[in-house]
Amino acid sequence: MLTTPTMFEARYRAAAPLPRTLEAFRQMRPDHTSKEASEVFAQIIKFVKPYSPSPRYTLQLLQQYSREVEREGGVIESDLFAEVLFEALKLAKDTEEADPLMLQYLTFKLGIGQVAVRTGPYHNDVGLRQWEAGYLLVEFLIKNPSYVRNKSVIELGAGIGLTGIVIQGFVARGVRDITLTDYTDVTLANMNHNVALNAPWIEQNNPGSPLPKISHLDWEEVGGSKSSSCCAALSSSEVLLAADVVYDVDVLPHLTKVVRLFLLSEKAEVAIFATTLRNESTFNLFIECLKKENVQYQELIDYEHEEIF
């Protein structure tokens, strides 16, 4: 059994895009089409337990690797690879029949032990997926922990809760408290599951640290009669975080009003957004909404960071 973590294993655990995962294996094994390499490939897949990506992702990865070997004139002769492929085929079929949403776990080796989070990559609720900018936000804070150390933090659109879990257990090791917010019931239930699942990991890495708090937050209600608890969480926080929340033009005015309300509170220090630029016009509208709310901002374009996830 392999015990040394590799970038290939890390990307497989995180269910990274297939080309990036296979690229990591090619870098690790220049002889990636050899029998020995296919044994290593299968060995890593087989022993990523108990929290592993969905059978569908695993099957697609194995099939794409097999096609790549064939395109380069190779033949996979590994019995272990055949065994792992057969198991993935069966699991993918059985799991899809039992669970059409295909919930899966992503795992990351950080500090002592590993973080495991449940996601629903095929679910209609975007809050059950882990988006690219979320990884970047965590990597930014790992490199710049002073932004959140000894602070009270709130996150908008926290989704699966990965950012808050890592911050509380690994990044700052001294965050006063962090509140993770989102909107839908299914997202909040899944976030509660992930926080509870990682409670032992947080305690191992940051003994005595309180677990992230989870709260419902509807951006459209902030400032209205139903928003007293929302406003209390915003006004008591010093740092606001958000990742991949700039995607729906209809909610951008509400989002920027929330940011402005936060920044007007006495305790507010900074709001940090990590955004994937998918649609330039949507991002430009976000900037215009910030200007309309008289929010000053600074863009960090192509921020250089060390890849951790």
* Tens digit of each residue's pLDDT (9 = 90 or more) over 190-242: 999 999 999 999 999 888 888 999 999 988 888 654 555 566 778 889 999 99
The mean pLDDT of 92-106, rounded to a whole number, is 66
Single-letter residue type at 261: L
Cβ pair 44, 94 in contact under 8 A: no
Distances 176 to 71, 156, 197, 246, 266 between C-alpha atoms, Å: 54, 18, 21, 27, 17
Cβ pair 290, 149 in contact under 8 A: no
Q: Is 245 exposed, middle or buried (0-12, 13-18, 19+ CB in 10 A)?
A: buried
Give the model's pLDDT for residue 297: 87
Whether residue 302 is predicted with pLDDT greater than 80 in this model: the reply is: no
Cβ pair 153, 178 in contact under 8 A: yes
Residue 167: which of 183, 153, 188, 182 has the closest Cα?
153
* Tens digit of each residue's pLDDT (9 = 90 or more) over 74-93: 888 888 999 998 888 888 77
Mean pLDDT of the chain: 85
Single-letter residue type at 296: Q
Identify the three-state secondary structure at position 282: helix
Give the model's pLDDT for residue 148: 93
Whether residue 6 is predicted with pLDDT greater than 80 in this model: the reply is: yes
Taking phi over 0 as left and psi of -120 to 50 as alpha, with beta for the rest, 73 belongs to left
* Tens digit of each residue's pLDDT (9 = 90 or more) over 242-260: 999 998 899 999 999 999 9
Give the model's pLDDT for residue 1: 36
Whether residue 156 is predicted with pLDDT greater than 90 in this model: the reply is: yes
